[in-house]
Amino acid sequence: MILRDTFLEINLDALTHNISEMKKMVGAEVAVMAVIKADAYSTGAAEVVETLMENGADFLGVAILIEGLEIRKKYKNYPILVMGYTSNECLEKAIENDLRITVFSEEQAKLISEISIKENIITKIHIKYDTGLHRLGFSDNEESLEAIERISKLRNIELEGIFSHFALNSKEKDRIQFEKFTEAIKILDIKGVTFKYKHMCDGISTIERPEYRLNMVRPGAPLYGIKTFSEGDFDIKQVMTFKTRISQIHEIKKGETVGYMEGWTAEKDSLIGTLQFGYADGYPRKMQGGAFVTIKDKKVQIVGFLCMDQCMVDLTEVPLAKVGDEVIIFGDGKNNTMTTKDIAIAANTGQNDIITRIGRRTPRIYKKNNQIIKSRYYLLD
């Protein structure tokens, strides 16, 4: 029994396929840091990291401290990098939990060193180097390189990695960023400052720009079947299918309206289906060009305004539809299903935005060999 009609189905075989294809593509010399931020792009980080680590991932990347702590609670040994900012007051927590910290200030490195000496731990850190995104990182200049050199001499700190991030503005600008990064690494190397891992590529650049992989890559979206890249031939499989069921069917007369504020008026006698998801489940409320779901392999339109928890669809062209029938909100695009890309385009946003909005009240249902093997109910944790 699934305790809600609306749920996100996660195909662990597809996830296994994607991570192992990723590892195969980059080769044994390049470490794969599977990015599992935002609850592994809504697939449920704590439930999927094992599949990732057992099928090709060497490392895990999270955006913020508590995402790392969530995984650490369950898995003691997985190497985890907190790729974003960790505040000074939280450093101790990160260190005690064996999380790699991203460092872009000498002051913070000194604090990490002090705490690590006190606790008698060697803390591994990754230096963040800004090459043009201007989000986080040491500025690209001589003073920064000197500061990094001084950091390398601090006690109880191991400079395990150095990384940067592409702005993905254009091929030419990416190349300039990459050259700045490798030049900085070269200068540091001459100073005797070396790193086990050097990394710059996110998912898109890992696939599209193999020459920038260095010895570690940080793919996120492609692992979860989100195809945001446009070049390269990475064989990707759909991981997530967002499903619900029909809860009621109304026959309405020409001229009657559906939903709040007469959001839709029937131009002829119509069949209206009610579905159990709304904007509180992350579905965009504003969809230019119409929102569709798929019932019995037919695309049907959501009519009227989306409610917080429900919405209505025009079933007139699917007269055989009945209460309890499965509805695909998004899937792999086959059999007339909407993809996350279709929804993102209609909502004038990106695919990651669409999937990361799926909230806590949507159960995650995990399938392997077409069998449900586990589920996650955040509200019942």
Binding site for ligand PLP (CB under 6 A): 35, 37, 63, 83, 165, 202-204, 218-221
At closest approach, how far in Å is the CB of 25 from ligand PLP?
A: 14
Distances (CA, A) of 173 to 56, 208, 218, 293: 31, 14, 19, 39
Beta bridge partners of 275: 246, 311
At closest approach, how far in Å is the CB of 114 from ligand PLP?
A: 27
How far apart CA 179 and CA 156 sit, in angstroms, is 31
Q: From start to end of 47-180, where are the E strands?
A: 59-62, 80-82, 100-103, 123-128, 157-163
Beta bridge partners of 129: 138
Angle, helix 12-26 to helix 45-54, in steps of 10 degrees: 50
At closest approach, how far in Å is the CB of 217 from ligand PLP?
A: 9
Q: Which is nearer to ligand PLP, 203 or 304 (CB)?
A: 203
Q: Which of 23, 37, 124, 243 is catalytic?
A: 37
Q: Which is nearer to ligand PLP, 209 or 218 (CB)?
A: 218
Q: Which is nearer to ligand PLP, 59 or 277 (CB)?
A: 59
Residue 260 falls in the annotated catalytic set: yes
How far apart CA 9 and CA 239 sit, in angstroms, is 8
Q: Which is nearer to ligand PLP, 156 or 182 (CB)?
A: 182
Q: Judge contact between 204 and 228, C-beta under 8 A.
A: yes
At closest approach, how far in Å is the CB of 165 from ligand PLP?
A: 5
Q: Which of 73, 74, 260, 286 is catalytic?
A: 260
At closest approach, how far in Å is the CB of 190 from ligand PLP?
A: 27
At closest approach, how far in Å is the CB of 166 from ligand PLP?
A: 9
Q: Which is nearer to ligand PLP, 103 or 312 (CB)?
A: 103
Q: Which is nearer to ligand PLP, 219 or 331 (CB)?
A: 219
Over the range 285-303, which residues count as b (16 or more CB within 10 Å of their CB) and which as e?
eebeeebbbbbeeebbbbb
- Pinpoint the alpha helices (H) of 226-269: none
Which of 294, 289, 283, 257 is CA-nearest to residue 272? Answer: 257
Name, in order, each residue with C-beta under 8 angstroms of 152's C-beta and a sequence gap of 6 or more: 159, 192, 193
Active site residues: 37, 260
